[in-house]
Structure 1
Amino acid sequence: MADEETNPWQTLSSKEIYDNPWINLTEYQVINPNGGNGIYGKVHFKNIAIGIVVLDDKLNTYLVGQYRYAIDQYSWEIPEGGGLLGVDPLESAKRELLEETGLVASSWRVIQTMHLSNSVSNEYSILYLAQNLTQHDAEPEETEQLEIKKMPFEEVYQWVKSGKITDSMSVAAILKVKLMLLDGSL
Protein backbone atom coordinates (compact mmCIF):
# COMPACT_ATOMS: atom_id res chain seq x y z
CA MET A 1 0.00 0.00 0.00
CA ALA A 2 1.37 3.40 -1.02
CA ASP A 3 1.95 6.14 1.51
CA GLU A 4 -0.89 8.60 0.86
CA GLU A 5 1.39 11.55 1.56
CA THR A 6 4.04 10.55 -1.02
CA ASN A 7 3.79 12.06 -4.50
CA PRO A 8 3.67 9.18 -7.03
CA TRP A 9 4.29 11.54 -10.00
CA GLN A 10 7.79 12.25 -11.31
CA THR A 11 8.37 15.56 -13.10
CA LEU A 12 10.90 15.36 -15.94
CA SER A 13 10.62 18.93 -17.23
CA SER A 14 8.30 21.91 -17.38
CA LYS A 15 7.49 24.61 -19.92
CA GLU A 16 5.54 27.82 -19.41
CA ILE A 17 2.78 27.98 -22.02
CA TYR A 18 0.94 31.16 -21.03
CA ASP A 19 1.12 33.90 -18.41
CA ASN A 20 -0.99 36.95 -17.53
CA PRO A 21 -1.59 38.94 -14.30
CA TRP A 22 -4.17 36.38 -13.05
CA ILE A 23 -3.06 32.93 -14.22
CA ASN A 24 -0.10 30.95 -15.48
CA LEU A 25 -0.33 27.76 -17.56
CA THR A 26 2.55 25.29 -17.36
CA GLU A 27 2.95 21.99 -19.21
CA TYR A 28 4.91 19.23 -17.46
CA GLN A 29 6.55 16.17 -18.96
CA VAL A 30 5.90 13.46 -16.34
CA ILE A 31 6.11 9.85 -15.43
CA ASN A 32 2.67 8.97 -14.10
CA PRO A 33 1.98 6.85 -10.99
CA ASN A 34 1.91 3.65 -13.12
CA GLY A 35 5.31 4.38 -14.72
CA GLY A 36 4.11 5.69 -18.08
CA ASN A 37 5.35 8.82 -19.82
CA GLY A 38 2.88 11.63 -20.23
CA ILE A 39 2.08 15.30 -19.99
CA TYR A 40 0.22 17.25 -17.36
CA GLY A 41 -1.03 20.82 -17.67
CA LYS A 42 -1.52 22.99 -14.60
CA VAL A 43 -3.23 26.35 -14.29
CA HIS A 44 -1.63 28.34 -11.46
CA PHE A 45 -3.84 31.05 -10.00
CA LYS A 46 -2.14 34.20 -8.77
CA ASN A 47 -4.99 35.10 -6.39
CA ILE A 48 -7.02 33.43 -3.67
CA ALA A 49 -10.68 33.02 -4.59
CA ILE A 50 -12.87 34.75 -2.02
CA GLY A 51 -16.62 34.20 -1.51
CA ILE A 52 -19.00 35.73 1.01
CA VAL A 53 -22.42 34.59 2.21
CA VAL A 54 -24.16 37.59 3.71
CA LEU A 55 -26.89 37.12 6.32
CA ASP A 56 -28.86 39.97 7.82
CA ASP A 57 -30.80 39.76 11.08
CA LYS A 58 -33.90 38.48 9.20
CA LEU A 59 -31.92 35.73 7.40
CA ASN A 60 -31.91 37.53 4.07
CA THR A 61 -28.87 37.20 1.86
CA TYR A 62 -27.52 38.92 -1.22
CA LEU A 63 -26.74 37.45 -4.61
CA VAL A 64 -24.78 39.04 -7.42
CA GLY A 65 -25.87 38.44 -10.99
CA GLN A 66 -23.48 38.93 -13.88
CA TYR A 67 -22.61 37.60 -17.29
CA ARG A 68 -19.60 35.27 -17.03
CA TYR A 69 -17.42 35.40 -20.13
CA ALA A 70 -15.67 32.06 -19.49
CA ILE A 71 -18.91 30.04 -19.46
CA ASP A 72 -20.82 32.34 -21.86
CA GLN A 73 -23.87 32.65 -19.63
CA TYR A 74 -25.46 34.69 -16.87
CA SER A 75 -24.68 33.53 -13.35
CA TRP A 76 -26.18 34.17 -9.91
CA GLU A 77 -23.54 33.96 -7.19
CA ILE A 78 -22.61 35.04 -3.71
CA PRO A 79 -20.35 38.12 -3.70
CA GLU A 80 -16.96 36.87 -4.94
CA GLY A 81 -13.59 38.03 -6.12
CA GLY A 82 -9.88 37.54 -5.96
CA GLY A 83 -7.53 38.29 -3.11
CA LEU A 84 -3.91 39.01 -3.86
CA LEU A 85 -1.42 36.56 -2.41
CA GLY A 86 0.32 38.21 0.53
CA VAL A 87 -2.76 40.28 1.44
CA ASP A 88 -4.91 39.24 4.40
CA PRO A 89 -7.81 37.30 2.78
CA LEU A 90 -10.29 38.89 5.20
CA GLU A 91 -9.30 42.35 3.95
CA SER A 92 -9.87 41.11 0.38
CA ALA A 93 -13.29 39.76 1.39
CA LYS A 94 -14.27 43.09 2.96
CA ARG A 95 -13.16 44.93 -0.19
CA GLU A 96 -15.10 42.57 -2.48
CA LEU A 97 -18.28 42.81 -0.40
CA LEU A 98 -18.18 46.61 -0.47
CA GLU A 99 -17.30 46.75 -4.18
CA GLU A 100 -20.09 44.44 -5.29
CA THR A 101 -22.93 45.15 -2.86
CA GLY A 102 -22.07 48.31 -0.93
CA LEU A 103 -22.35 46.29 2.29
CA VAL A 104 -19.99 46.53 5.24
CA ALA A 105 -20.13 43.74 7.84
CA SER A 106 -18.80 43.95 11.39
CA SER A 107 -18.95 40.18 12.00
CA TRP A 108 -16.91 37.77 9.86
CA ARG A 109 -16.32 34.03 10.07
CA VAL A 110 -14.46 31.59 7.81
CA ILE A 111 -16.93 28.82 7.02
CA GLN A 112 -15.02 26.77 4.45
CA THR A 113 -11.75 26.51 2.57
CA MET A 114 -11.49 24.41 -0.57
CA HIS A 115 -9.68 23.73 -3.84
CA LEU A 116 -11.91 24.57 -6.79
CA SER A 117 -10.59 22.26 -9.49
CA ASN A 118 -7.72 20.21 -8.13
CA SER A 119 -7.31 18.09 -11.25
CA VAL A 120 -6.09 20.95 -13.47
CA SER A 121 -5.45 23.93 -11.21
CA ASN A 122 -4.22 24.98 -7.80
CA GLU A 123 -7.03 27.52 -7.28
CA TYR A 124 -7.75 27.83 -3.57
CA SER A 125 -10.76 29.53 -2.04
CA ILE A 126 -11.83 30.87 1.31
CA LEU A 127 -15.54 31.23 2.01
CA TYR A 128 -16.82 33.65 4.65
CA LEU A 129 -20.05 34.36 6.46
CA ALA A 130 -20.61 38.11 6.96
CA GLN A 131 -23.19 39.50 9.39
CA ASN A 132 -24.10 42.72 11.24
CA LEU A 133 -24.42 44.81 8.11
CA THR A 134 -24.54 48.47 7.16
CA GLN A 135 -25.35 49.71 3.66
CA HIS A 136 -23.01 52.00 1.73
CA ASP A 137 -22.51 52.73 -1.98
CA ALA A 138 -21.26 49.85 -4.13
CA GLU A 139 -17.96 50.38 -5.97
CA PRO A 140 -17.93 47.85 -8.83
CA GLU A 141 -14.85 47.43 -11.01
CA GLU A 142 -15.02 48.61 -14.63
CA THR A 143 -15.20 44.98 -15.81
CA GLU A 144 -18.33 44.31 -13.74
CA GLN A 145 -21.93 44.92 -14.74
CA LEU A 146 -23.72 43.59 -11.68
CA GLU A 147 -27.28 43.08 -10.55
CA ILE A 148 -27.73 42.74 -6.78
CA LYS A 149 -30.63 40.73 -5.40
CA LYS A 150 -31.63 40.64 -1.71
CA MET A 151 -33.51 37.41 -0.99
CA PRO A 152 -34.53 35.20 1.92
CA PHE A 153 -31.75 32.68 2.54
CA GLU A 154 -34.19 29.78 2.23
CA GLU A 155 -35.12 30.90 -1.29
CA VAL A 156 -31.43 31.07 -2.25
CA TYR A 157 -30.99 27.56 -0.86
CA GLN A 158 -33.87 26.42 -3.10
CA TRP A 159 -32.06 27.98 -6.08
CA VAL A 160 -29.06 25.77 -5.26
CA LYS A 161 -31.28 22.67 -4.96
CA SER A 162 -32.97 23.39 -8.30
CA GLY A 163 -29.69 24.06 -10.11
CA LYS A 164 -30.33 27.74 -10.77
CA ILE A 165 -27.08 28.54 -8.95
CA THR A 166 -24.18 26.60 -10.48
CA ASP A 167 -21.10 28.53 -9.32
CA SER A 168 -19.09 26.08 -7.19
CA MET A 169 -18.12 28.52 -4.42
CA SER A 170 -21.71 29.73 -4.13
CA VAL A 171 -23.11 26.21 -3.99
CA ALA A 172 -20.60 25.10 -1.35
CA ALA A 173 -21.03 28.21 0.79
CA ILE A 174 -24.83 28.19 0.66
CA LEU A 175 -24.96 24.48 1.54
CA LYS A 176 -22.50 25.05 4.39
CA VAL A 177 -24.62 27.88 5.84
CA LYS A 178 -27.75 25.72 5.50
CA LEU A 179 -26.02 22.95 7.48
CA MET A 180 -24.92 25.48 10.11
CA LEU A 181 -28.53 26.70 10.44
CA LEU A 182 -29.78 23.12 10.76
CA ASP A 183 -27.23 22.02 13.37
CA GLY A 184 -27.49 25.22 15.41
CA SER A 185 -23.88 26.32 14.93
CA LEU A 186 -24.95 29.63 13.44
Structure 2
Amino acid sequence: MKNPWTVLAERPVYDNKWIGVTEYDVLNPSGGKGIYGKVHFKGLAIGILPLDEEGYTWLVGQYRFPLDAYSWEIPEGGGDFAVSPIESARRELKEETGLVAKEYTLIQEMHLSNSVSDERAFIFLARGLHQEEATPEETEQLVVRRVAFDEAFEMVLRGEITDSIAVAGILKVKLMLMSGALKI
Protein backbone atom coordinates (compact mmCIF):
# COMPACT_ATOMS: atom_id res chain seq x y z
CA MET A 1 0.00 0.00 0.00
CA LYS A 2 1.05 3.58 -0.61
CA ASN A 3 2.17 5.62 2.41
CA PRO A 4 -0.63 8.12 3.19
CA TRP A 5 1.66 10.27 5.39
CA THR A 6 3.60 13.26 4.00
CA VAL A 7 6.84 14.24 5.73
CA LEU A 8 7.39 18.00 5.64
CA ALA A 9 10.55 18.10 7.78
CA GLU A 10 12.55 15.89 10.14
CA ARG A 11 14.83 16.68 13.08
CA PRO A 12 17.11 14.31 14.95
CA VAL A 13 16.31 14.82 18.64
CA TYR A 14 18.50 12.25 20.41
CA ASP A 15 21.14 9.68 19.49
CA ASN A 16 23.26 7.11 21.31
CA LYS A 17 24.78 3.77 20.35
CA TRP A 18 21.46 1.90 20.88
CA ILE A 19 18.71 4.25 19.67
CA GLY A 20 18.01 7.42 17.73
CA VAL A 21 14.92 9.60 18.13
CA THR A 22 13.64 11.69 15.23
CA GLU A 23 10.74 14.15 15.23
CA TYR A 24 8.83 14.61 11.98
CA ASP A 25 6.56 17.46 10.87
CA VAL A 26 3.86 15.63 8.92
CA LEU A 27 0.60 15.81 7.10
CA ASN A 28 -1.51 12.94 8.40
CA PRO A 29 -3.63 10.77 6.09
CA SER A 30 -6.52 13.27 6.38
CA GLY A 31 -4.26 16.21 5.46
CA GLY A 32 -3.95 17.67 8.97
CA LYS A 33 -0.62 19.01 10.17
CA GLY A 34 1.05 17.35 13.11
CA ILE A 35 4.22 15.89 14.55
CA TYR A 36 5.32 12.29 14.80
CA GLY A 37 8.20 10.94 16.87
CA LYS A 38 10.02 7.76 15.93
CA VAL A 39 12.49 5.73 17.97
CA HIS A 40 14.95 3.96 15.67
CA PHE A 41 16.61 0.90 17.18
CA LYS A 42 20.17 0.26 16.03
CA GLY A 43 19.94 -3.47 16.63
CA LEU A 44 17.54 -6.39 16.63
CA ALA A 45 15.74 -7.78 19.67
CA ILE A 46 16.48 -11.48 20.15
CA GLY A 47 14.58 -13.90 22.39
CA ILE A 48 15.32 -17.56 22.98
CA LEU A 49 13.00 -20.08 24.59
CA PRO A 50 15.12 -23.07 25.66
CA LEU A 51 13.09 -26.24 26.09
CA ASP A 52 14.62 -29.50 27.31
CA GLU A 53 13.44 -33.08 26.83
CA GLU A 54 11.88 -33.09 30.33
CA GLY A 55 9.62 -30.11 29.56
CA TYR A 56 11.62 -27.46 31.40
CA THR A 57 12.59 -23.98 30.26
CA TRP A 58 14.85 -21.28 31.68
CA LEU A 59 13.73 -17.84 32.84
CA VAL A 60 15.97 -14.89 33.46
CA GLY A 61 15.10 -12.38 36.16
CA GLN A 62 16.53 -8.90 36.19
CA TYR A 63 15.75 -5.36 37.20
CA ARG A 64 14.64 -3.33 34.16
CA PHE A 65 15.73 0.30 34.51
CA PRO A 66 13.12 1.85 32.14
CA LEU A 67 10.26 0.13 34.01
CA ASP A 68 11.71 0.63 37.50
CA ALA A 69 10.63 -2.96 38.12
CA TYR A 70 11.91 -6.52 38.31
CA SER A 71 11.08 -8.68 35.29
CA TRP A 72 11.02 -12.42 34.55
CA GLU A 73 11.76 -13.15 30.90
CA ILE A 74 13.08 -15.75 28.53
CA PRO A 75 16.78 -15.21 27.68
CA GLU A 76 16.93 -12.05 25.55
CA GLY A 77 19.29 -9.49 24.19
CA GLY A 78 20.34 -7.37 21.27
CA GLY A 79 21.58 -8.46 17.89
CA ASP A 80 23.76 -6.51 15.51
CA PHE A 81 22.29 -6.01 12.02
CA ALA A 82 25.59 -7.27 10.58
CA VAL A 83 25.19 -10.63 12.37
CA SER A 84 22.51 -13.21 11.58
CA PRO A 85 19.72 -13.36 14.19
CA ILE A 86 20.47 -17.04 14.87
CA GLU A 87 24.11 -16.23 15.70
CA SER A 88 22.91 -13.53 18.09
CA ALA A 89 20.52 -16.06 19.64
CA ARG A 90 23.37 -18.55 20.21
CA ARG A 91 25.49 -15.84 21.86
CA GLU A 92 22.66 -14.53 24.07
CA LEU A 93 21.56 -17.96 25.28
CA LYS A 94 25.08 -18.92 26.33
CA GLU A 95 25.86 -15.49 27.75
CA GLU A 96 22.79 -15.32 30.01
CA THR A 97 22.25 -18.97 30.97
CA GLY A 98 25.37 -20.90 29.96
CA LEU A 99 23.17 -23.11 27.76
CA VAL A 100 24.30 -24.30 24.35
CA ALA A 101 21.69 -25.74 21.99
CA LYS A 102 22.11 -28.19 19.11
CA GLU A 103 18.97 -26.93 17.34
CA TYR A 104 17.42 -23.48 16.88
CA THR A 105 14.05 -22.89 15.23
CA LEU A 106 12.75 -19.42 14.43
CA ILE A 107 9.21 -19.42 15.83
CA GLN A 108 8.19 -15.75 15.67
CA GLU A 109 9.13 -12.42 14.12
CA MET A 110 7.55 -9.31 15.63
CA HIS A 111 7.45 -5.52 15.61
CA LEU A 112 7.57 -4.55 19.27
CA SER A 113 5.94 -1.11 19.31
CA ASN A 114 5.09 -0.19 15.76
CA SER A 115 3.31 3.05 16.70
CA VAL A 116 6.51 4.73 17.92
CA SER A 117 9.46 2.53 16.99
CA ASP A 118 10.91 0.37 14.24
CA GLU A 119 12.26 -2.32 16.60
CA ARG A 120 12.09 -5.86 15.23
CA ALA A 121 12.30 -9.02 17.28
CA PHE A 122 13.18 -12.62 16.43
CA ILE A 123 12.21 -15.42 18.82
CA PHE A 124 13.88 -18.82 18.63
CA LEU A 125 13.08 -22.18 20.19
CA ALA A 126 16.30 -23.85 21.38
CA ARG A 127 16.45 -27.66 21.78
CA GLY A 128 19.16 -30.24 22.46
CA LEU A 129 20.58 -28.31 25.40
CA HIS A 130 23.74 -28.78 27.41
CA GLN A 131 25.09 -26.63 30.22
CA GLU A 132 28.28 -24.59 30.11
CA GLU A 133 29.28 -21.47 32.06
CA ALA A 134 27.24 -18.27 31.72
CA THR A 135 29.08 -15.03 30.92
CA PRO A 136 26.64 -12.15 31.56
CA GLU A 137 27.54 -8.60 30.55
CA GLU A 138 28.72 -6.19 33.25
CA THR A 139 25.36 -4.36 33.07
CA GLU A 140 23.43 -7.54 33.86
CA GLN A 141 22.68 -8.80 37.35
CA LEU A 142 20.73 -11.91 36.42
CA VAL A 143 18.90 -14.62 38.30
CA VAL A 144 18.42 -17.74 36.16
CA ARG A 145 15.72 -20.29 37.00
CA ARG A 146 14.93 -23.62 35.39
CA VAL A 147 11.15 -24.05 35.60
CA ALA A 148 8.59 -26.43 34.15
CA PHE A 149 7.34 -24.97 30.87
CA ASP A 150 3.75 -25.19 32.13
CA GLU A 151 4.75 -23.05 35.14
CA ALA A 152 6.17 -20.39 32.78
CA PHE A 153 2.88 -20.49 30.87
CA GLU A 154 0.94 -20.05 34.13
CA MET A 155 3.20 -17.10 35.03
CA VAL A 156 2.12 -15.44 31.77
CA LEU A 157 -1.55 -16.08 32.58
CA ARG A 158 -1.12 -14.66 36.11
CA GLY A 159 0.60 -11.53 34.74
CA GLU A 160 3.93 -12.38 36.37
CA ILE A 161 5.69 -12.40 33.00
CA THR A 162 4.87 -9.22 31.08
CA ASP A 163 7.80 -8.78 28.70
CA SER A 164 6.35 -8.90 25.18
CA ILE A 165 9.05 -11.17 23.71
CA ALA A 166 8.72 -13.62 26.58
CA VAL A 167 4.92 -13.61 26.43
CA ALA A 168 4.90 -14.14 22.66
CA GLY A 169 7.49 -16.93 22.82
CA ILE A 170 5.79 -18.79 25.66
CA LEU A 171 2.34 -18.52 24.08
CA LYS A 172 3.66 -19.62 20.68
CA VAL A 173 5.36 -22.70 22.14
CA LYS A 174 2.21 -23.54 24.16
CA LEU A 175 0.17 -23.41 20.94
CA MET A 176 2.76 -25.56 19.14
CA LEU A 177 2.57 -28.13 21.96
CA MET A 178 -1.23 -28.10 22.02
CA SER A 179 -1.51 -28.54 18.23
CA GLY A 180 1.04 -31.37 18.16
CA ALA A 181 3.47 -29.34 16.02
CA LEU A 182 5.99 -29.69 18.86
CA LYS A 183 6.63 -32.56 21.27
CA ILE A 184 8.48 -32.46 24.58
Match of 1:122 in 2: 118
Superimposed CA distance per residue, residues 27-79 of structure 1 (whole angstroms, 9 cap, x where no aligned partner): 00000011000000000000000000010000100000000000000000000
Aligned CA-pair RMSD: 0.4
Match of 1:42 in 2: 38
TM-score normalised to structure 1 length: 0.97
Match of 2:19 in 1: 23
Q: Could you tell me how far apart the structure 2 residues matched to 1:6 and 1:181 are? A: 39
1:101-112 → structure 2 map (5 Å cutoff)? 101-112=97-108
**1:70 match: secondary structure:** helix
1:35-114 → structure 2 map (5 Å cutoff)? 35-114=31-110
| Gapped regions of structure 1 (runs ≥ 5) | none
For 2:88, the aligned partner's letter is S
Question: Post-superposition shift, 1:6?
Answer: 1.2
Q: Could you tell me how far apart the structure 2 residues matched to 1:184 and 1:107 are? A: 18
For 1:177, the aligned partner's letter is V
TM-score normalised to structure 2 length: 0.98
Q: Could you tell me how far apart the structure 2 residues matched to 1:7 and 1:58 are? A: 49
Structure 1 runs of 4+ aligned residues shifted over 6 Å read none
| Total equivalences in the alignment | 182
Question: Post-superposition shift, 1:86?
Answer: 1.5
Question: Post-superposition shift, 1:181?
Answer: 0.1
Match of 1:14 in 2: 10
Q: Could you tell me how far apart the structure 1 residues matched to 2:22 and 2:82 are? A: 22
| Gapped regions of structure 2 (runs ≥ 5) | none
Question: Post-superposition shift, 1:106?
Answer: 0.5
